[in-house]
């Protein structure tokens, strides 16, 4: 029996994401590097009470449509860009561990609305501690100390200890049930490469969960990925799903 981590559909890939699960959501905030089809499949399944980690609180469907129009002359948004905001809008999210939960300026993410209604909980972190806490989970490290955040809301209620006269805050690893990530190419062993700034939180989150799901543009034969250039070794990846060639709406099966 040959190893084959490629799963036939997004619906199948997310079928065991249950109520109350903790999810790392890859991407950064741009329209390219987001695991849109994995997010859409979870939104169709509609689990409740999820804890999510990621950079952005998420725009949601309506704001992405507005941005697509507004930024058309600057940055083309793909038709099939769906972000964490969709999961918030579908009522799936109970807690966010996020670095960018508040939209810029006067805009408001769906998650902010939820917070204001008292229907969600936020743990605000800088991107560095967020990324390192996720990396720590991948590496089996329970917790680490960093000076970043001491004296601010990011360190509230956390242990403080001095090293070399500088106060550090103890940050615990964030291990999720599932990591939802976007990559460029995979092979059937789950080796991954990324494209440009698409690496970002996606490569960070690979392996930081019980199950890592990678949404990719293409699966290539074993040996086609240059072993010198594999970014995420397949040992960190449990499932690979290929994006459809033609864009689909989030509520269509994929």
Partner 1 sequence: MAGDRLDELSMAMRVAREFREGMYVNLGVGIPTLASSFVPPGMEVILHSENGMLGFGPLVEDAAHADIFLINASVQPVSPRPGMCFFAHEESFAMIRGGRIDITVLGALEVAENGDLANYQLPGKVCGSFGGGQDLAFCARKVIAVMTHRTKDDRPKIVQRVTLPLTAPRAVDRVVTDIAVIDVTPAGLLLREYVPGWTPEEIQALTAAPLRIADDLQPMTLA
Could you say whether residue 170 binds partner 1 (CB under 8 A)? no
Nearer to partner 1, 47 or 149 (CB): 149
For strand 166-172 and strand 160-163, is the pairing parallel, antiparallel, or unpaired?
A: antiparallel
Could you say whether residue 59 binds partner 1 (CB under 8 A)? no
Of residues 16, 83, 91, 81, the one with CA closest to residue 46:
91
Of residues 5, 15, 3, 105, the one with CA closest to residue 63:
105
CB 225, min distance to partner 1, A: 16
Task: With contacts defined by CB under 8 A, name the span among 3-11, 37-45, 125-133, 157-165 that binds partner 1.
Answer: 125-133
Could you say whether residue 52 binds partner 1 (CB under 8 A)? no
Could you say whether residue 197 binds partner 1 (CB under 8 A)? yes
Could you say whether residue 183 binds partner 1 (CB under 8 A)? no
The rounded distance, in Å, linking the Cα atoms of 176 and 96 is: 12
Could you say whether residue 104 binds partner 1 (CB under 8 A)? yes
CB 189, min distance to partner 1, A: 20
Half-sphere exposure of 49 (CA within 13 A, CB side): 4
Do 17 and 38 form a contact (C-beta atoms < 8 A)? no
Of residues 238, 192, 245, 236, the one with CA closest to residue 37:
245
Half-sphere exposure of 251 (CA within 13 A, CB side): 2
Task: Give the one residue of 12, 49, 62, 152 binding partner 1; rule: CB under 8 A.
Answer: 152
User: Which residues bind to partner 1, rule: CB under 8 A?
Assistant: 28-33, 55, 72-78, 99-102, 104-105, 112, 115-116, 122, 124-129, 131-132, 134-135, 146-154, 194-204, 231
């Amino acid at each position: 029996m040959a190893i084959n981590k490629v799963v036939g559909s997004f619906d199948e890939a997310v079928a065991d994401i249950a109520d109350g699960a903790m999810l790392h959501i890859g991407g950064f905030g741009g329209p390219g590097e987001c695991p849109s089809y994995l997010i859409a499949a979870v939104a169709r399944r509609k689990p409740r009470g999820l804890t999510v980690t990621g950079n952005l609180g998420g725009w949601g469907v309506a704001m992405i449509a507005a941005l697509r129009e507004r930024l058309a002359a600057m940055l083309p948004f793909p038709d099939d860009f769906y972000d964490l905001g969709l999961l918030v809008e579908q009522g799936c999210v109970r807690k966010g561990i996020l670095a960018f939960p508040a939209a810029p300026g006067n805009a408001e993410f769906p998650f902010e609305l939820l917070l204001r209604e008292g229907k969600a909980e936020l743990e605000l972190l800088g991107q560095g501690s967020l990324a390192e806490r996720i990396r720590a989970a991948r590496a089996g490290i329970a917790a680490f100390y960093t000076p970043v955040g001491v004296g601010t809301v990011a360190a509230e209620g956390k242990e403080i200890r001095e090293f070399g006269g500088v106060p550090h805050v103890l940050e615990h690893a964030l291990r999720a049930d599932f990591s939802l990530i976007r990559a460029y190419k995979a092979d059937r062993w789950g080796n991954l490469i990324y494209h440009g700034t698409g690496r970002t939180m996606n490569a960070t989150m690979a392996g930081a969960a019980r199950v890592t799901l990678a949404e990719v543009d293409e699966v290539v034969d074993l040996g086609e990925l240059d072993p010198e250039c594999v970014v995420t070794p397949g040992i960190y990846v449990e499932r690979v799903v290929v994006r459809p060639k033609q864009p689909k709406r989030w509520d269509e099966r994929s």
